[in-house]
């Protein structure tokens, strides 16, 4: 076959390759937007007391004030077991906005004199002070919720990386085919 006869088949090949590359890009798109990472359940057992030694601890009879720094990742479902070591009523509370008062939306446990379970979702990222709402300004500690792009599906930014690579690769291949088919036609 002469150059004239090759032109339509070259064009057909270019169309076929382009179509399959588009298919690959679409598949990539679906793969990237596949099931989001689930938030973890994080269990914390915290022991608190006001009668000296005052404070909080992660183990029995180890209280300090400030207590241990507690950290989770944003989006985690935090399950707290809270034990009053001195039989005194306590309320665990995280002061998200640092105003020293319990506000709506701030994690606040029920009052406990024995052991209680209290759970909440750590939606707000940042460093905060946790308190016993009853014995503030004692019984405090630092609470850290690490900002995390991987644990909050609804806030996770779209990952354009793989898509961009696929698009650049597709463009390069299409360009190569176009150059190649033009050369053949001459
Ligand atoms: Cu207390």
pLDDT at 98: 97
If asked whether residues 63 and 140 sit together in one domain, one would say yes
pLDDT at 73: 95
**Host domain of residue 67:** 41-154
User: 123 C-alpha to center of ligand 1: Å?
Assistant: 25
pLDDT at 84: 98
User: 59 C-alpha to center of ligand 1: Å?
Assistant: 17
User: 115 C-alpha to center of ligand 1: Å?
Assistant: 13
User: 13 C-alpha to center of ligand 1: Å?
Assistant: 76
If asked whether residues 70 and 112 sit together in one domain, one would say yes
CATH number at residue 113: 2.60.40.420
Gap between the Cα atoms of 10 and 185, Å rounded? 9
Q: How high is the mean pLDDT in each 10-residue block of the chain (186 residues)?
A: 55 67 62 58 98 97 97 96 98 98 97 98 97 98 88 54 74 78 72
If asked whether residues 82 and 16 sit together in one domain, one would say no
User: 182 C-alpha to center of ligand 1: Å?
Assistant: 81
User: pLDDT tens for residues 55-74?
Assistant: 999 999 999 999 999 999 99
User: 87 C-alpha to center of ligand 1: Å?
Assistant: 10
User: 93 C-alpha to center of ligand 1: Å?
Assistant: 10
If asked whether residues 128 and 63 sit together in one domain, one would say yes
Count: domains in the chain: 2
If asked whether residues 80 and 61 sit together in one domain, one would say yes
Gap between the Cα atoms of 162 and 15, Å rounded? 23
If asked whether residues 26 and 111 sit together in one domain, one would say no
If asked whether residues 177 and 110 sit together in one domain, one would say no
- Pairing assessment for the beta strands 140-146 and 70-73 based on DSSP bridges: parallel
If asked whether residues 77 and 129 sit together in one domain, one would say yes
Give pTM, 2 decimals. 0.62
If asked whether residues 102 and 173 sit together in one domain, one would say no
If asked whether residues 59 and 102 sit together in one domain, one would say yes
């Amino acid at each position: 076959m002469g150059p004239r006869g090759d032109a339509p088949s070259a064009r057909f090949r270019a169309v076929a390759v382009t179509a399959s590359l588009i298919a690959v890009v679409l598949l990539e798109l679906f793969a990237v937007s596949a099931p989001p990472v689930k938030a973890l359940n994080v269990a914390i057992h915290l022991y608190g007391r006001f009668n000296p030694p005052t404070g909080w601890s992660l183990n029995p009879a180890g209280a300090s004030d400030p207590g241990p720094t507690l950290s989770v990742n944003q989006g985690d479902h935090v399950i707290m077991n809270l034990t009053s070591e001195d039989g005194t009523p306590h309320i665990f509370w995280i002061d998200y906005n640092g105003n020293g008062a319990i506000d709506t939306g701030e994690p606040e446990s029920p009052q406990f004199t024995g052991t209680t379970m209290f759970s909440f979702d750590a939606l707000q990222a940042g460093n905060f002070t946790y308190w016993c709402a009853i014995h503030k300004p004692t019984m405090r500690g630092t609470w850290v919720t690490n900002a995390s792009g991987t644990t909050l599906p609804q806030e996770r930014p779209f990952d354009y990386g793989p898509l961009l690579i696929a698009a650049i690769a597709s463009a390069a291949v299409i360009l190569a085919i176009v150059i190649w088919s033009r050369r053949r036609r001459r």
